Amino acid sequence: MKRKLGPKGQVVIPKDIRDKLSLTEGAILDFEVEDDAIVVKPEPSPEEFVGRFLSVKGKKLRKRVDWKSVLDDEYKVAGR
């Protein structure tokens, strides 16, 4: 599908593509340049991101870290 670039660099994503990728108003899109092509990907929802993260196979998940106490300790060491 072809689309014309507007005066402000805007392009309308065709409805079939928006529907197929479940893109709605306010969706965040990630733009990348690969060679001489523009690749546009929807940013995964937080639920999708967590699902992908948890589905990583063959990797050991680190133990849960209490980052607040780690940062508090670093703050104390720095003498603040």
Phi and psi angles of residue 11, each rounded to the nearest 5 degrees, phi first? -135, 140
Tell me, yes or no, whether 66 lies in a domain. Answer: no
**How many domains, the chain?**
1
List the domain range (segments joined by +) for residue 45.
Answer: 1-58
Rounded to the nearest angstrom, the gap between the alpha carbon of residue 20 and the centroid of all alpha carbons in its chain is 18
pLDDT tens track for 46-77 = 777 788 777 776 666 566 777 777 777 666 66
| pTM, 2 dp | 0.53
pLDDT of amino acid 61: 59
Asked, for residue 63, whether it belongs to a domain, the answer is: no
> Nearest 10 degrees: CA dihedral of 60, 61, 62, 65?
-170
pLDDT tens digits, one per residue of 8-32: 999 999 999 999 988 999 988 999 9
In-domain check, residue 18: yes
In a domain, 68, yes or no: no
Distance CA 32, CA 40 (A): 7
Q: Does the residue 79 lie in any domain? A: no
In a domain, 21, yes or no: yes
Residues 6+ apart with CB under 8 A from 42: 21, 23, 27, 28, 29, 30
